[in-house]
Amino acid sequence: MSKDAFFKELHQTYARNPFMPLEHIIGKAIVQLQSSRVRNQVELAFIKSLESGGGHASRALDAVGVLADKHNITVELFVIPLKWHATDRKSALNKKELKAWYGRHGFELVEGTGYMQRKPQGENHGRS
C-alpha cells in the first residue's frame, strides 16, 4: 500500500470541507492530513470537533488510524493547542492534555523532537 492509495481512499470515503478543500469531514469532526516528505508517512496538521464533548474528534482520529493501518502509513503530528479554533474554548485541551489524548490513540513521542507519531498497527488498531 502507499500514500497515494491512502489519500485516494480518504478522498473517496470522506467529504471535503467545501470552504477548505484540504480538510475532510469525518463524522462531526474536521481533519486535515497532508503528505510528508517521508515515504509512507502523512502529517495530521489539524483536527477539530464540531461539537465539543461528544467524542467526535476521538472517533475521527480512530478512523484515520484504521485507514493508516490499512495502507501501512505512519501518521505524525506536532502537539499544538489551537484554542482559537475550539468550538468551546473552555473545554479546549492544553498541550499536556493533548499529548495524553493522542497517546490514548496510539501516538508516541519521538525522542528529541516535538513530534508524536502513530506507526501502523496490526488488527488491534485504535485506542490502546
pLDDT above 60: residue 123: no
- pLDDT at residue 10 is higher than 90: yes
Task: Give the pTM.
Answer: 0.85
- Tell me the average pLDDT of the chain: 87
Question: Which fold does the domain 3-118 belong to in CATH?
Answer: Aminopeptidase (3.40.630)
Q: How many residues does the chain have?
A: 128
Give the pLDDT score at 94.
83
Residue type, 86: A
Per-residue model confidence as pLDDT tens digits over 82-101? 765 555 555 678 888 899 99
Q: Is it the case that residue 4 has pLDDT exceeding 60?
A: yes
> Any bridge partners for residue 117, and if so which?
76, 108
The answer to whether residues 66 and 126 touch, using CB atoms and an 8 Å cutoff, is: yes
Domain range annotation of the chain = 3-118
pLDDT at 55 exceeding the cut of 60: yes
